[in-house]
């Protein structure tokens, strides 16, 4: 069984703090975390499986039984039960309410999602906002044999399940605009919103820069760029747990780590995208909102 894709990452909500401080049932499983060496758009080019030392043989037997049972479930039944990471399912409710505030009053529009992961947010948001047309994307290396399968997994809960979700597209967000998918480039200047969740801290800075440049091309005048995740404010993490996790990320890869909101805002300005506000969210996260000038 291949590691399942995660929507964005569990890092912001689930991996902060000491593992020993979490409930025993969280320790008694293998935690799959997207610790990729080549993020470009928020999805792992490779998945590192982190197994806690406290997991014993009894837990492994239990894990095998669960996997065995899951294989017998119809694929559609698994879509809602096992496909999405718990943190992605927890945060999508509050994020949806924040998105509503940035959309036109009639709820209509065209949204480009960067790094759709498992399709958790696309599924929830497009279902709740039926007048929106939702375009999911995901980073998948060109030479990855399962490239088509990765995108099809998103489509199971997206394009194949909801009439207002388009088929997922491969996107390297760090690439120049000219290399973005033609399905996106042909709609330049017509997107109502560009949305991205939990990417900036687990990818190189060039990915964030690429997203900001792409948003400047994709968005209609007055369109919104909405970025969810953990960030630094005035050069500092807002909590000790965030600071600890930021240090862990940088030790994993020097190109990773929490980005300062001021740095993101300054980079966005270069592409005609103005920072409007930050909104505090659960689990010490923020939503950053920008507007195309």
pLDDT in tens, 187-203: 999 999 999 999 999 99
Sketch out the chain's domains with CATH numbers.
Answer: 86-292 (3.40.50.150)
pLDDT in tens, 77-100: 334 557 777 877 888 889 999 999
Is pLDDT larger for residue 68 or for residue 258? Answer: 258
Q: pLDDT value at position 88? A: 75
Is pLDDT larger for residue 158 or for residue 34? Answer: 158
The pLDDT mean for the chain works out to 79
Beta bridge partners of 275: 290
- Among residues 133, 139, 266, 136, which one has the least CA distance to residue 190? 133
Predicted TM-score (pTM) of this structure: 0.75
Beta bridge partners of 288: 227, 278
Residue 289, SS3 per DSSP: strand
Q: Which of the given ranges, 17-31, 37-51, 63-77, 253-267, has the highest pLDDT on average?
A: 253-267
Residue 275, SS3 per DSSP: strand
């Amino acid at each position: 069984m291949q590691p399942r894709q995660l929507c964005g990452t569990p890092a912001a909500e689930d991996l902060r703090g000491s593992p020993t401080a979490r409930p025993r049932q969280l320790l008694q499983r293998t935690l799959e975390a997207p610790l990729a060496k080549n993020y470009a758009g928020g999805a792992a080019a490779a998945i590192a499986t982190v197994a806690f030392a406290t997991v014993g043989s009894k837990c492994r037997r239990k894990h095998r039984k669960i996997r065995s049972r899951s294989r017998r479930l119809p694929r559609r039944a698994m879509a809602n039960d096992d496909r999405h990471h718990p943190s992605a399912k927890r945060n999508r409710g509050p994020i949806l309410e924040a998105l509503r505030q940035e959309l036109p009053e009639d709820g209509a529009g065209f949204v480009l999602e960067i790094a759709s992961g498992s399709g958790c947010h696309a599924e929830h948001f497009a279902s709740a906002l039926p007048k929106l047309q939702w375009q999911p994307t995901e980073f998948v290396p060109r030479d990855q044999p399962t490239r088509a399968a990765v995108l099809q997994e998103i489509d199971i809960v997206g394009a194949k399940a909801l009439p207002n979700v388009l088929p997922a597209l491969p996107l390297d967000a760090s690439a120049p605009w000219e290399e973005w998918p033609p399905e996106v480039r042909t709609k330049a200047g017509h997107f109502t919103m560009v949305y991205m969740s939990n990417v900036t801290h687990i990818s190189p800075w060039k990915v964030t820069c690429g997203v900001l440049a792409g948003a400047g091309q994709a968005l209609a005048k007055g369109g919104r760029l909405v970025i969810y995740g953990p960030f630094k404010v005035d050069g500092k993490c807002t909590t000790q747990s965030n600071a600890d996790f930021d240090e862990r990320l940088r030790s994993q890869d020097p190109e990773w780590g929490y980005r300062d909101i001021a740095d993101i805002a300054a980079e966005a300005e270069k592409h005609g995208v103005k920072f409007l506000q930050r909104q505090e969210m659960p689990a010490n996260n923020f939503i950053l909102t920008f507007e195309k000038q």
